[in-house]
Structure 1
Amino acid sequence: MDINIKKSSLKYQIAEGIKKEIFQGNLDPGDKVTENYIAKKLEVSRGPVREAIQLLVMEGLLVSVTYKETRVSSITTEEVTELLIPMRINMETFALKKAYSSWNERHFEKFDELVDKMKRATIFNDMPLFNEIDLQFHELIIVSSNMNNLAHLWAGILNRIRLHFVHQNRLSLDLQKFTDEHEILLNTFKTGDLETAVQGLRDHIINTNMPRVELLPDQENEHNKE
């Protein structure tokens, strides 16, 4: 585990390092995360490591069972189909309806830049970078609505979306297709028609996720692991 500790609060630095390992796919769903191992690896005491782990449990990235062990969280087909996809559709299309009339050339330039970055990440097969750019693309829709409550709701599910992207994209190995689908969505946005843009966004979220949910573990299998 390669984590650099800087001068700011130790527990947050450790937590960010563990997050990085998860989002880069170096820690798989179900992998154990132990205080002793991390403390020895980083040459720190167990206290800040324990606090960092507690932070990540609260964020939904780790699952801790009292008196047993802590493991990296999984994301299941049930959570994706019943919670994440419906929530994303409602939140992102709502944000689009609120923001679309105010979008100008600057907004579209930002979307274009993100799609160009996706293309570069695809060329180098940089999955972690691609996932972050993908999130930035969709977060731009949320932020452009200028609705703080919506932004807070998005922040609340962001790490679960990250987990979904990490596991889905790593297993599907089809970054070029994801890039093409974002370019199609952006062209839909550029039509200037709100109804077309909203429908395009809804279709995009469904088409880039639903066909691949079988790659994720189902709920029954997750219970069996426990």
Structure 2
Amino acid sequence: MKVNKARRIMSVKDQIAEQIRSDIIAGDLAPNTKLNEKEMADRFGVSRGPIRDVILQLSKEGLLISKNNCGASVNSVLDPKIQKLMIKLRRDIEVFAIEQLKDKLTARELADLDTILEQLQSAFDKEDYTEVTKIDISFHKYLINKAGGDELVNIWYPYVMRMRLNYKRITSSAECVAEHKLIVDALKNADIPAAIKATKSNIR
């Protein structure tokens, strides 16, 4: 998330995780693709240790699946019934988060949300749909974090990342940005019912 003026310094492990995450979101690493630790280590110029850490991290996020004696692979596409359940669970978590934000967000935090929307529009303008997806996630993660901190983020994050393997709904930039703007505007007006309605509409 690029809302702070100070640039966050990422560790090598986090940089590798971010690249693999982007590869999966972009479809460069398709579902069920097996990952080779040695090839990944060679690609990023590191030992296998950091690669194993990244595999563990992305497995916790639901993007990878790791089995004993079988190595790691990109997780499979969800069964439609499971996808529907995960959408419901994610929606329930985000509605809970919105309820916690009543009269809680500061003017600076609302401005941060506006900045994220500007970044979302910019990514659409560049037709960088991988970045669109990542910024979309960062928008919701920002709200989840403000509502419940790392504890709530850690409950929510695997759902949203796992759902990305099934994610096909790329709307027009106008529609996508407008959906998120409705959430922000409702929060600015302290209209929690409207914010919940907009959130439910956006998660589908």
Under TM normalisation by the shorter chain, which class is it?
0.7 to 0.9
Distance 1:104 1:11 in 2: 33
2-structure distance, mates of 1:71, 1:198: 36
Kindly state the Cα deviation for residue 120 of structure 1 after the two structures are TM-superposed: 0.7
Residue identity in the other structure for 2:91: I
User: Which residue number corresponds to residue 80 of structure 1?
Assistant: 83
Is the contact between residue 61 and residue 162 of structure 2 (CA under 8 Å) also seen in structure 1? no
1:1-226 paired onto structure 2 within 5 Å: 14-42=16-44, 44-76=46-78, 77-83=80-86, 85-145=87-147, 147-148=148-149, 151-165=150-164, 167-168=166-167, 171-176=168-173, 177-205=175-203, 209=204
**Distance in 2 of aligned mates of 1:163 and 1:72:** 10
The offset of 1:73, in angstroms, is 0.9
Structure possessing the higher radius of gyration over alpha carbons: 1
1:186-220 deviation line (CA, Å, top 9, x unaligned): 33334432222223322332xxx2xxxxxxxxxxx
Q: Residue 118 of structure 1: CA displacement?
A: 1.0
Deviations 1:20-68 (A, max 9, x none): 4323432111111012322343455545534543443344322233333
Match of 2:7 in 1: none
Is the CA contact 1:128–1:166 (under 8 Å) kept in the aligned structure 2?
no
SS class of match (1:64): strand
SS in structure 1 of the partner of residue 73 of structure 2: strand
User: Structure 1 residues 69, 203: CA separation in 2 closer, same or farther (over 3 Å shift)?
Assistant: same
Question: Which letter maps to 1:181?
Answer: E
Deviation of the 1:82 alpha carbon: 0.7
Structure 1, residues 92-117: CA drift from partner, whole Å, max 9, x if none? 22222222222343232222211111
What is the identity, as a one-letter code, of the residue corresponding to 2:177? T
The count of residues paired between Structure 1 and Structure 2 equals 194
Equivalent position of 2:4 in the other structure? none
What's the TM-score once normalised by structure 1's chain length? 0.69
Distance in 2, matches of 1:107 and 1:11, equals 29
Alignment identity in percent? Answer: 26
Q: Which residue of 2 aligns with 1:219?
A: none
**Over aligned residues, Cα RMSD in angstroms?**
3.0
What residue identity is the alignment partner of 2:69? Y
Q: Which runs of 5+ in 2 are unaligned?
A: 1-9
Shift of 1:122: 0.5
Give the C-alpha shift of residue 16 in structure 1.
Answer: 4.6
CA distance in 2, matches of 1:44, 1:136: 28
